[in-house]
Amino acid sequence: MDPTRRLRLLQSKLTALAGHPQDGLLGPFPSGATLTDRSSAWLLVEDAGPRALGGAMLWAHRHGCSSLRVVLDPVDSLVASDLSRRAGATRGVVSVWTLDGDQLCPVEPDGAHHEQPAPPGVDPLVELLVAEGCEVVIEDGVVRGEWLGLEVARIEDLGDGWTLQCGVGRFDREAGAMMRAGTDAPQSLRSVLSVVRAARHPGAPPHPMRDMCRERWLRAALLVDSSAIGVSALVAMASGVPRVNLRDPHPALALGRDSGGRVLVAATVGVDVDLVGVIAGVVADDSTIAEIVVVHPVDRPLLDAAREVFAWLGRPTRFVGVPAPWELASTAVAGTESDGATT
């Protein structure tokens, strides 16, 4: 269908669902349509994915709306319930709805996501990763070996016990398993590491392996020394949202403590429209989080709208700029705290 005609149909549908408000202002949205009525916003999204919430919140906040109803149609029930759980962190500011015929129905949130520990029996492979100089990161039960935040190996059970799969990303691991068939795990790991280390180090020239997953590189530096952000005892944690690929931005999360209690730390680089949507999921699951600290390279501060929308999560939030770990120490800029607390 012609995109303009499709948009008009979606806008008409949304207007009817909202009860034909007299002062409603219609607009476009990726794979959907928008309607603002005074301080309220309606958003109709087709085929919403797990990262749909953050962009919707940013749009509503930038248009001065104090409440947002996200209508999903058609709907994936698992995605919808996950988005509803994340929306719960906004204390009623954002709600998620779906359609039953022509009737709006609120979506029931799914249960809280609980981080899983490393599975038993993987200790020998973990020791191998450590011996070869890898950072061992455990997220939701998945054990990865990383070099400056870039995954170079993963411990997996392929049906005959735990094994070390080496490579950068799923396709590289699968190709490497065929190319290095018969090669023992230490040799395979060293082979991958030699390539990654040559391309990924402070001051390295442009290269895909230097530039991928910089959020995780930033987190890796904080896990070694988090004094610049005033947080201690940092431990990496999963975001709870599947990462699409190694190139697109995706926040790298960790939990720590400061004088006020438990702190959620989110490392981010560049423009990530679903940053607040991902963090909302963790906040919704853990009421003991006393503060959010968003860490970014000092020369890449967050946009004003991206900072301000965190107020919807109801947690004090700090935005801290730190030297980019991929820059040489002689060219790095001193870290700054770019904002105070947002409540």
What total number of domains does the chain contain? 3
Residue 178 has pLDDT above 70, yes or no: yes
Query: What's the CA gap between 131 and 190, in Å, rounded?
Result: 11
Q: Which pLDDT score is estimated for 68?
A: 96
Q: Are residues 165 and 244 in the same domain?
A: no
* Residue 258 within a domain: yes
pLDDT at 332: 44
**Residue 54, domain member (yes or no):** yes
Which residues is 337 bridged to in the sheet?
Answer: 320
pLDDT at 341 over 50: no
- 226 and 268 inside one domain: yes
Cα–chain center distance at 275: 6
Is there a single domain that holds both residue 127 and residue 46? Answer: no
What pLDDT is attached to residue 169?
84
- pLDDT over 90 (residue 210): yes
Arithmetic mean of pLDDT, 301-316: 92
Choose from 90-99, 153-162, 166-175 the range with maximum mean pLDDT. 90-99
Q: Average pLDDT over the chain, rounded to whole?
A: 91
The mean per-residue pLDDT over the stretch 331-341 comes to: 48
- Residue 115 domain-assigned (yes or no): no
Return d(Cα 164, Cα 145) in angstroms, integer.
Answer: 9
Distance CA 240, CA 219 (A): 17
Q: β-strand 261-267 against 289-297: which pairing, if any?
A: parallel
Residue 63 lies in a domain: yes
pLDDT value of position 224: 96
- Phi and psi angles of residue 326, each rounded to the nearest 5 degrees, phi first: -85, -5
pLDDT value for 13: 94
Quickly state the pLDDT bin for 337 (edges 50, 70, 90).
low
Note whether 202 and 226 are same-domain residues. no
> Residue 22: which residues within 8 A CB-CB, separation 6 or more?
none
Whole-number Å distance between alpha carbons of 188 and 153:
9
- The answer to the question of residue 111 being in a domain is no
183 falls in which pLDDT band (50, 70, 90)?
Answer: confident
Looking at the fold, whether 218 and 194 belong to one and the same domain comes out as no
Residues 96 and 127 in one domain: no
- Picking from 208, 225, 258, the residue at the C-terminal end of a domain is 208
Query: Looking at the structure, do residues 19 and 73 belong to the same domain, yes or no?
Result: yes
Q: What is the pTM of this model?
A: 0.90
Share of the chain above pLDDT 70, in %: 95
Residue 201 belongs to domain spanning: 123-208
Cβ-contact 93, 313 below 8 angstroms: no
Residue 117 lies in a domain: no
- Give the model confidence (pLDDT) of 122-140 as tens digits: 999 999 999 999 999 999 8
Kindly list the distances between the CA atom of residue 190 and the CA atoms of 30, 183, 230, in Å, as whole numbers in the listed order.
44, 11, 35
Is 114 part of a structural domain of the chain? no
pLDDT for the residue numbered 339? 52
pLDDT at 307 (0 to 100): 92
- Facing residues of 5 across strands? none
> Are 199 and 257 contained in the same domain?
no
Q: Are 12 and 24 in contact (CB under 8 A)?
A: no
* 63 and 147 co-located in one domain: no
CA 160 to CA 163: how far, in whole Å?
A: 8
Tokens, residue 123: 């200790």
- Domain match, 283 and 172 both: no
CA 308 to chain centre: 18
Q: 79 to each of 7, 35, 124, 326, how far by Cα in Å? A: 23, 23, 37, 35
Q: Is the pLDDT of residue 316 over 90?
A: yes
With a cut of 60, say whether residue 222 has pLDDT above it.
Answer: yes
Q: Encode pLDDT of 10-67 as tens digits.
A: 999 999 999 888 888 999 998 899 999 888 999 999 989 999 999 999 999 989 999 9
Residue 331 has pLDDT above 70, yes or no: no
The pLDDT score that the predictor gives to residue 33 is 95
Can you tell me the distance from the alpha carbon of 112 to that of 94, in angstroms, rounded to the nearest whole number?
A: 18
- Residue 294 in any domain: the answer is yes
Same domain membership, residue 74 and residue 53? yes
User: Tokens for 30?
Assistant: 């990726």
What digits encode the pLDDT tens for the residues 85-106?
999 999 999 999 999 888 899 9
Same domain, 253 and 152: no
Residue ending a domain, among 157, 185, 208, is 208
